[in-house]
Amino acid sequence: MDFTFPTYIKQVMTALQDAGFEAYVVGGAVRDALLGRKPDDYDIVTNARPDEIKLLAKQHNLSLVDKVGQNFGVVMMSWVRR
């Protein structure tokens, strides 16, 4: 089965993978894609640490949602370029 993800998801995945990290789309987006639905949001799991994700986001000019989930090692990004 072939999934087509939005450009911004591909950009995040590429940035992580080009930096040597693993990155996979997981969760509800995968479920929705398998059911033929358009996902509302996307979760990406990676072996990059939060500080590494923040650095990559800055290097690729992606905005972060500050402090949400930081106690759990979660970094949230918004998809509006700065």
Neighbouring C-alpha atoms within 13 Å toward the C-beta of 16: 21
Helices (H), the chain: 7-18, 28-34, 50-59
| Span 7-19, pLDDT tens digits | 888 888 999 999 9
The CATH topology of domain 7-81 is: Beta Polymerase; domain 2 (3.30.460)
* Band (63; pLDDT cuts 50, 70, 90): confident
